[in-house]
Chain A
Amino acid sequence: MPTGFEASIDPDVVIYLEDVAVRYRVPREPVSGIKEYAIRMLQRRLAYEDFWALKGVSMQVRRGEVFGVIGSNGSGKSTLLKVVARVLYPTRGRVVLRGRVAPLLELGAGFHQELTGLENIYLNSALLGRTRAEVEKLLPEIIDFAEIGDFINSPIRTYSTGMVARLGFSVATCVRPDILLVDEVLSVGDARFARKCLERMYSYQQQGTTILIVSHSMSTIETFCERAMWLQRGESRSIGPVAQVIQEYIQSSSQAEPPPARSAEPRGASAQGSSQSAQPTYHAIEKIPDLFPSEGIFNVVRGSFSARLKFPIDRRVRDCAIFHTDDSRYILYIGTYFSEEEQEEFNVLVARAGGNRRATDTFYGSSGFPEVASTLTTYSATPGIPLTPGEWNLVTMTWSGYPQGSLRLYLNGILVNKLEYDRRYSDGRSLPSQIAIGMRPASWEGELIENEDGSMQESRPSSTMEVIDSGLELCDLRLYPYALTEEEILEIYHQSGATEPAE
């Protein structure tokens, strides 16, 4: 073998896979006995079923890059991760890794239930190849980061799952690795701790750590990765900038649905021109029993959401989320507040869209978030818009040209409230303009809030904010990949405003 291998690969490429194939041999009939095996050997009947989990995958990930691997179950994502983690040796092909690899696969897998937290720190660190001296030096930091306090001297079997995950994360990441492998572990403990983990990961990335994330959640991949690969049945279908890969993935997986064609074209003027108003392209969100689930390309820069709502007669609407992206940056919800002046409770209709923060800290204090609202009484909305209970109303939110555009909320084609974006809503991170979402207009289970002073708190609505519990009725949910103009909104309002939409 030539010795120039090390030199032959760009020194900036940290993970290098060349035509990597992995074959599992599954015996056609289970052969576990020696006798059976010997008989089969003699009869030359040792039949195996070959299963290729990876079929010639090539990829290169550079230093400091966050690279995502996406694909459905059984596509070979986990196998790929195991190959990079050196758990599986490739049946064919070549794997080159530069530097220390820290796997965040199933945190706490190496923990022993009977041993104390402290003993497990030593054991797990040794599993990661650290020497005893290294561990002793890192010990205070590991314990401190994991926040398990006096439990450190109790057996792991007395720990909660969250504590185990925290300790596992702390041990695995107390030294900055060169390569960090992440397998759906972004839900470490509570939301606050999850954020702490993410911060550590980002700070490592700034210092040059390469992060490989495997996930079936498109929003995870979209939020964190710069480049991605889409795996399908062990083959690499697409590799490149994350937005492009996710788009290809979605287009192939939802052929039946109307493709959000506009978002694929250069966005902007062409989509916004009034000439387009004749045939607006949108993504209809169909109701499935009690939910309005949707997967589609969601345009972060400019877009619109519209729906028809029917308020219940003679009672206020209970809090509910009408529309909600997975990352909580785009929400339309109805909340309740108590007015000191009127000594009465009111409903508020709130639209939130835009902002440039990562998924975990979207809601950074009420004043800092791009949100507009309208107060609802039983018969009207704030700037004097009459509402008739028991009849359908059109609610529309649009967002355009972030960070230079505005967020607008319309009721029955009338502008209720608007907000011009400004620098407050950006923390300077560049996020992809396309976001893959699973919209959840049915439930909203809470999120992380960053207060003005930087402290964090987890906010959970009193209920899951499900539409079905709220008394509100919904139909005709549409997602547009561009900001609708007022004329277009009015047109939609009049289209079927006269007749009650059929469900």
Chain B
Amino acid sequence: MQTHEEFYDSARHRSPLIDEVQALMRYNNLVVQFVSRSLKTRYKRSTLGVVWTLLNPILTMLVLTVVFSSLFRFNIEHYAVYILSGHTAWLFFSNATSASMGDMVLSGGLFQRIYVPKLVFPVASIGASLINLLISLIPLLLIAVFTGVRPTPALLVLPLSIVLLAAFALGLGLLLTTAAVYFADMLPVYEVLLTLWMYATPIIYPIEIIPPNLQWLFRLNPLYYFVRLFRAPIYDGVFPEWQAWLIGAGFALAALVVGATVFTSHTNDYAYRV
């Protein structure tokens, strides 16, 4: 195993972003381990196990469908699938970002004892949420077929939608995680904001019910585009329009660059803070 000798010099500073990304790649096995740990421990002691991940969207759908279709009576065809397609994307986003914050703070005990590239934690949190998203797509697609929504070739773009949303969640997650390290009450504050954010996103209602002079405000919300990128192929059976792609990709890229830069520029400080 005589490979080239590892060498560390605290005085040698390249870009912290490049250093951290390289370290992350070296520790890719740890990301895999963290993701599998999070999945395993989540299901280990519950008897239904992975069934919960499958069941959860169905139950959510039932609740939301019953509540909102009887309450608001939006005249939407296949309302269950309408809600669920948007809600699945939302659920991934909110889980991924809050898990990223929580996992980092909870892992303090670990990275105060042993060196670990800090990027591993948020990336693994997003990874675990991503697996849950993929699992929950199964019941979603089944429900779609079952309730009569016809699958179209547009479904083939779904992986790209997922990649963009994951990139956005990671970028924002990194930013929020940096904040969470410095401010203990960041997480509860963010959870309140998430509730607000969900209702500001056309998930359970169509954007058309918003007065036209206010719709621009709702279009400032990045999640509007990501929900659209999910809903178009699943619910509408069409390819999302190019504006949605462009704006979604723009948000994802910006969040990723800003988030990663801010997060990595503070990595040397985390062990002192958490």
Residues of A within 8 A of B (CB): 1, 5-6, 24-25, 32-34, 37, 82, 85-90, 93-101, 103, 105-106, 109-110, 112, 114-115, 119, 122-123, 125-132, 135, 175, 178
Contacts and interface: CB of A to CB of B under 8 A. Distances in A.
B27 A90 contact: no
A461 to B, nearest CB: 37
B10 interface: yes
Contacts of A95: 8-10
Nearest to A100: B6
Contacts of A94: 9-11
Contacts of A112: 37, 41
Given A122-B33, A126-B32, A129-B27, A33 B183 contact: yes
B12 A34 contact: no
Nearest to A133: B29
A343 B244 CA distance: 100
A25 B44 contact: no
B268 interface: yes
Given A25-B272, A123-B33, A109 B110 contact: yes
A115 B111 CA distance: 19
A86 B41 contact: no
Given A96-B8, A112-B41, A87 B115 contact: yes
B5 A115 contact: no
B152 to A, nearest CB: 39
A114 to B, nearest CB: 5
Interface string B67-78: 000000000000
Contact of B27 (A32, A89, A126, A175): A126
Given A112-B37, A115-B37, A88 B272 contact: yes
B198 interface: no
Given A6-B9, A33-B185, A114-B40, 4 more contacts: A89-B10, A89-B268, A96-B7, A178-B6
Contact of A34 (B29, B33, B40, B185): B185
Given A115-B41, A129-B30, A105 B6 contact: no
A95 B184 CA distance: 31
B13 to A, nearest CB: 6
B22 to A, nearest CB: 12
Interface string B109-138: 111111110000000000000000000000
Interchain residue pairs A-B with the least CB separation, the first 10: A89-B268, A86-B115, A126-B30, A126-B33, A32-B184, A95-B10, A94-B11, A97-B8, A126-B29, A109-B113
B9 A127 contact: no
A5 B11 contact: yes
Nearest to A89: B268
B192 interface: no
Nearest to A137: B1
Contacts of A132: 29, 32
Q: Which of B1, B5, B114, B272 has the most CB of A within 10 A?
A: B114
Contacts of B109: 109
A204 to B, nearest CB: 14
Interface of B: 1, 5-13, 26-27, 29-30, 32-34, 37, 40-41, 44-45, 109-116, 183-186, 189, 268-269, 271-272
A9 to B, nearest CB: 9
A131 B32 CA distance: 10
Q: Which of B7, B10, B32, B186 has the most CB of A within 10 A?
A: B10
Contact of B114 (A25, A87, A99, A114): A87
Nearest to B41: A114
29 contacts: A24-B272, A32-B184, A33-B183, A34-B183, A34-B189, A87-B114, A89-B271, A94-B9, A94-B11, A95-B10, A97-B9, A98-B6, A99-B6, A99-B7, A100-B6, A103-B114, A103-B115, A105-B113, A106-B113, A110-B110, A112-B37, A114-B41, A114-B45, A123-B33, A126-B33, A127-B30, A127-B114, A129-B27, A130-B29
A89 B12 CA distance: 12
A433 B184 CA distance: 53
A96 B9 contact: yes
Given A114-B44, A115-B41, A99 B5 contact: yes
Contacts of B33: 122-123, 126-127
Nearest to A124: B33
A103 B109 CA distance: 15
A87 B112 contact: yes
A34 B37 contact: no
A112 B11 CA distance: 34
B264 to A, nearest CB: 13
B108 to A, nearest CB: 11
Contacts of A1: 11-13
A168 B268 CA distance: 26
A32 B114 contact: no
A94 B9 CA distance: 7
Contacts of A105: 113-114
B112 to A, nearest CB: 6
A36 to B, nearest CB: 9
Contact of B9 (A5, A125, A178): A5
A128 B45 CA distance: 27
B185 A98 contact: no
Q: Which of B115, B184, B185 has the most CB of A within 10 A?
A: B115
Contacts of B112: 82, 87
Contact of B116 (A6, A93, A127, A135): A127
A101 to B, nearest CB: 7
A6 B7 CA distance: 8
Contacts of B5: 98-99, 178
Nearest to A90: B10
B11 to A, nearest CB: 4
Contacts of A103: 113-115
A209 to B, nearest CB: 13
Nearest to B186: A34
B96 to A, nearest CB: 21
Given A101-B115, A105-B114, A119 B40 contact: yes
Given A6-B7, A109-B109, A131 B29 contact: yes
A62 B12 CA distance: 21
Contacts of A126: 27, 29-30, 32-33
